[in-house]
Structure 1
Amino acid sequence: MYDTFEPKSLLPQEKVEFYRKNGFVQIHNVLTADELEELRDYMDEAMNSAQGMSTQTDQKGGSYYRVLNQRVNIWRDHAGMAKYTAHSRFAEMARQLVGTSGIRLFHDHALLKMPGDSKPTPWHQDLTYWPMNETGALSIWITLDDVDERNGCMMFIPGSRSIGKLNPISLVDPQDIFEYTKGTEHEHTKPVIVRMKAGSCTFHDGLTFHYAHANVTDNQRRVLAIIYMTDGTTYSGKSHTITNGLGLAVGEPIRGGLFPLLARA
């Protein structure tokens, strides 16, 4: 476990190998106790502000809000959030896991599962929503609260990224993604439940099947997720709230001030 993690420290080789085999990995204590408390304060402050340049996915009472109270690109609203979204510590870990020469930010999002009428986040892949031609993009999922099956911890299907890129799944009215596993080596693969202490994280590949439980507790479950892409990832032209209106050219690398290079070999 890491009480502190310097940006250029090497991840244990077993963590890298586990990720490359399974498409996800759990890492303890990526935040110090002081950082955890600071990030909690920053996120609460940013999420409680009605102003800013981030995108609120749905309003309170909406169908999606019951799955996730989400703000995308929250780093653009709050310098404290930007400190963590752009942190080289996390980006360097992502670079090591993928084995690439450079990692760029795609976007971040605050992911809150609210208490009360909470719904699970259904099984899905992430990359199907992103406007990228190449594979290899991944997410870090940093929990600011202890998580288990009662408040929204995640589950993964090991090795499921080998099935390839499927059609997007509606998070409000989902289809059964496991229809795609029939006849494959993953037809009977058991999900791995990932319970974590606050300040820990998972990384998962954009093609890995994953799910988050509903929140049946009396408190919100807070997560900072950051999506990374390998340097040189090109724009597919697919509609996406992050890239729409930016004038990106199809087939050209996604780069610039909104997609900074955060780690390099």
Structure 2
Amino acid sequence: MKNPGVLCDEHVKPGEPGRFHDDQFLWRRHETMRRFVYESPAAEIARHMMRGKQVQLFYDQLFVKEPGTRKATPWHNDHSYWQLKGNQVISLWLALDPVPKSSCVKYVKGSHKWRLLHKISSFSGDEQRYKESSSLPDIPDIESKRDEFELLTWDMEPGDCLVHHSFAVHGAPGISTQSGRRRAYATRWFGEDVDFDPRPGTMHHMWVNAGLDPGLKAEEPLKSSLFPKVTPAPEVRV
């Protein structure tokens, strides 16, 4: 957090309590994250969950919520933000601190089957950043219709992980002043059925502006050093 990358974001506005920080592509700058990508069981877990033959890293992301942060992670699915087309796309969300259910990620059971591309905004609420997505439908109002959905969440300890499909709708509440810091490290993975989809209103333009252009055309396989193939360590078994 002391040396953030060009895609670092702060989601709590000045004057609001707490801090909600995230950063991307840490594996390109920090040896610890790079070793996690290449040497941990994460790649094999991802390959196994996707039932794929190979696995590539899309990107990684660090989330930090400090105690007293009221800002919630809005309900969303990841796929709506991403310049990808395909089904073999998952996230592995790794807890770095104890996370009680009260502040853990919550999922709408079965929502990955909706395959919904929805209008998006930044987690700070900036709708201009993704204004090209404004023609897409809104995500359902989960908060006001909680009784209509089955929500899944868990208590987690450091080292526990959750794996979810890119179309799974999820969100997370703020955390109380009594709760500890909530840090999580997410790695995003995809398999062989995924192609590049630089449609308007995704994170693609942000990455290009940050000097992270994969040099791909629409519907091409994601063959780029930005998205490395990761061979799971031979001793890893899932």
TM-score w.r.t. the length of structure 2 is 0.77
- Matched residues in 1 for 2:45 and 2:207: separation? 24
Instruction: Assess, with a 3 A threshold, how the Cα gap between structure 1 residues 138 and 248 changes in structure 2: closer, same or farther.
Output: same
Report how far residue 65 of structure 1 moved.
10
CA distance in 1, matches of 2:15, 2:88: 30
Partner of residue 253, structure 1: 221
Choose which of 177, 186, 189 in structure 1 pairs with 2:139. 177
Q: Is 1:118 aligned to 2:86, yes or no?
A: no
Aligned residue type for 1:254: L
Q: Structure 2: 5+ residue runs without aligned partners?
A: 128-136
Q: Specify whether residues 187 and 255 from structure 1 end up closer, same or farther in structure 2 by C-alpha distance, changes over 3 A only.
A: farther
> Is 1:49 matched with 2:3?
yes
Task: String of CA shifts for 1:213-236, please: whole Å, max 9, x gaps.
Answer: 212135321111000011352111
RMSD: 3.0
Number of residue pairs matched by the alignment:
211
Question: How many Å separate the matches in 2 of 1:211 and 1:191?
Answer: 10
Task: Indicate if the aligned counterparts of 2:88 and 2:193 stay in contact, CA closer than 8 A.
Answer: no
- 2:197 corresponds in structure 1 to 236
Query: Using a 3 Å threshold, how does the CA distance of structure 1 residues 73 and 145 change in structure 2: closer, same or farther?
Result: same
- Measure, in 2, the Cα distance between the counterparts of 1:74 and 1:65: 26
Q: Superposed, which structure 2 residues align to 1:4-15 within 5 Å?
A: none
Q: Name the residue aligned to 2:164.
A: 204
Q: How far, CA to CA, are the matches of 1:63 and 1:227 in structure 2?
A: 32
Partner amino acid, structure 1, of 2:110: G
* 8 Å CA contact retained: 1:57, 1:64: no
Residue of structure 1 in register with 2:48 after alignment: 96
**Deviation string, structure 1 residues 27-65 (Cα, Å, up to 9, x no partner):** xxxxxxxxxxxxxxxxxxxx2225xx5521237746999
Question: Within 5 Å, which residues of 2 pair with 1:56-205?
Answer: 56-58=8-10, 61=13, 68-150=20-102, 152-170=103-121, 171-173=123-125, 177-178=139-140, 188-205=148-165
SS of 1:254's equivalent?
coil
Q: Structure 1 residues 64, 143: CA separation in 2 closer, same or farther (over 3 Å shift)?
A: farther
* Pairing 1:221–2:175 present: no
Deviation at 1:66, TM superposition (A): 6.4
Distance in 2, matches of 1:100 and 1:62, equals 44
The alignment-based identity, stated in percent, is: 26
The answer as to whether partners of 1:67 and 1:172 remain within 8 angstroms in 2 is no
Structure showing the higher helix proportion among its residues: 1
Structure 1: tracts of 5 or more residues without a match: 1-46, 181-185
Kept in 1: contact 2:38–2:231 (CA 8 A):
no
Q: In the TM superposition, what whole-angstrom CA distance separates every residue of 1:118-154 from its partner, at most 9, and x where no partner exists?
A: 311121100010001212211000001110144x311
Q: Note closer, same or farther for the CA distance 1:124–1:64 as it changes in structure 2 (3 Å cut).
A: farther
Q: Is the 8 A contact 2:214 2:226 kept in 1?
A: no
